[in-house]
């Protein structure tokens, strides 16, 4: 906490993830100046003591600037705008899920301006952040990681340092390929069990207590049982990550048959126009492909987070 007061923080991006991450930093006592393309979304952060900037350039004089936007194209755009003036931060911590190549290009841009760069993607959704269970995977200079650690600790329960360069990017890409494949698999077996006569709440209660249950299967259970598909992560962002995984598979010559099939099932969902709800609508698509019409079971189901 006391260390957290020493450095000033700039925060780019107050979307689903960025908002909750910045909120934890501000509530933890850090001095945070937030910029979001749509300013109104960032304004409620003032209740935690954060300030909101009109222009992204106002963040350039901060010691550390975090970035949490969408794709590499968006990251490049905001960082270019951040560095247009004379001021520059000491460090940029980039948390969006982007490619190894994008991250390497960003490192070159920042290091040529003598700005330290930590690649720091995350595991967990907005609800996980609120529950204090987010995790970071970080790569870049160890010195930068050590300097950033008190701030990372205000946001997340754990931060793993995996080495130099862009190594954290491949870890995150692998993680999200697993997320896609596990979600599709969970959808298939849930529909199979239901079509054979087992209610979803009973099936998932067993799976979640079995050796195959996980933090993830537990926190997706309420959505699967009660068909609440309010967005935590969009199908489009998951498709981006599956594509990043398949690109990396091609680059490193690793066959990824499950990832490939899952990517196309996500594509099929998007192609049918299912883009405004959570990616867990993979369950609905699976049910449709199985001739099953799902209804909410209206059961109280724990998400395992609280």
Ligand X SMILES: NC(=O)c1ccc[n+]([C@@H]2O[C@H](COP(=O)([O-])OP(=O)(O)OC[C@H]3O[C@@H](n4cnc5c(N)ncnc54)[C@H](OP(=O)(O)O)[C@@H]3O)[C@@H](O)[C@H]2O)c1
Residues that bind ligand X (CB under 6 A): 13-18, 36-38, 41, 68-70, 74, 77-78, 96-97, 122, 125, 232-233, 237
Q: Minimum CB separation from ligand X for residue 89, in Å?
A: 17
Q: Mark out the alpha helices in the chain (DSSP H runs).
A: 16-27, 39-42, 72-82, 100-112, 126-130, 142-155, 167-195, 200-209, 215-226, 235-251, 257-271, 282-289
Burial 229-261 (b: 16+ CB within 10 A, else e): bebbbbbebbbbbbbbbbebbeeeeeebeebee
Report which residue's Cβ sits closest to ligand X: 15
Q: Minimum CB separation from ligand X for residue 13, in Å?
A: 4
Phi, psi of 109 (to 5 degrees): -60, -45
Nearer Cβ to ligand X (140/180): 180
Q: Minimum CB separation from ligand X for residue 252, in Å?
A: 21
Residue from 241, 228, 239 nearest 278 by CA: 228
Among all chains, which residue has been given the structure tokens 């945070």?
Answer: 32
Retrieve residue 55's tokens.
């222009």
Nearer Cβ to ligand X (74/243): 74
Q: How far, in Å, are 61, 65, 71, 127, 130 from residue 218 at the CA level?
A: 42, 34, 28, 13, 16
Q: Minimum CB separation from ligand X for residue 71, in Å?
A: 7
Please give the DSSP secondary-structure letter assigned to residue 48.
G
Please give the DSSP secondary-structure letter assigned to residue 212.
T
Nearer Cβ to ligand X (118/191): 118
Retrieve residue 70's tokens.
């969408």
The answer to whether 66 and 9 have CB atoms below 8 angstroms apart is yes
Phi, psi of 278 (to 5 degrees): -70, 155
């Amino acid at each position: 906490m006391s260390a957290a007061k020493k450095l000033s923080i700039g925060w780019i991006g107050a979307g689903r993830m960025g908002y909750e991450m910045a909120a934890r930093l501000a509530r933890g006592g850090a001095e945070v100046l937030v910029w979001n393309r749509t300013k109104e979304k960032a304004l409620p952060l003032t209740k935690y003591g954060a300030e909101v900037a009109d222009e992204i350039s106002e963040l350039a004089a901060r010691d550390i600037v975090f970035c949490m936007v969408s794709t590499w194209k968006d990251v490049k755009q905001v960082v270019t705008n951040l560095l247009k003036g004379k001021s520059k931060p000491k460090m940029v911590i980039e948390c969006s899920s982007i490619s190894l190549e994008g991250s390497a290009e960003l490192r070159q841009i920042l290091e040529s301006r003598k700005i330290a760069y930590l690649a720091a993607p995350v595991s967990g959704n907005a609800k996980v952040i609120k529950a204090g269970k987010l995790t970071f995977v970080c790569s870049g200079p160890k010195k930068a990681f050590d300097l950033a650690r008190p701030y990372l600790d205000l946001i997340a329960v754990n931060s793993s340092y995996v080495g130099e360069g862009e190594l954290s990017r491949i870890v995150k890409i692998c993680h999200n390929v697993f997320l896609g494949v596990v979600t599709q698999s969970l959808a298939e077996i849930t529909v199979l069990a239901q079509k054979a006569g087992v209610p979803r709440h009973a099936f998932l209660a067993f799976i979640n207590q079995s050796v195959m249950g996980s933090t993830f299967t537990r926190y997706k259970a309420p959505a699967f049982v009660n068909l609440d598909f309010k967005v935590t992560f969009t199908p489009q962002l998951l498709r981006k990550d599956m594509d990043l995984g398949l690109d990396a598979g091609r680059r490193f010559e690793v066959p990824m048959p499950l990832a490939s099939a899952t990517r196309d099932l996500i594509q099929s969902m998007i192609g049918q126009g299912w883009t405004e709800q959570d990616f867990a609508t993979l369950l609905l698509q699976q049910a449709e492909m199985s001739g099953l019409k799902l209804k909410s079971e209206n059961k109280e189901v724990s998400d395992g987070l609280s």
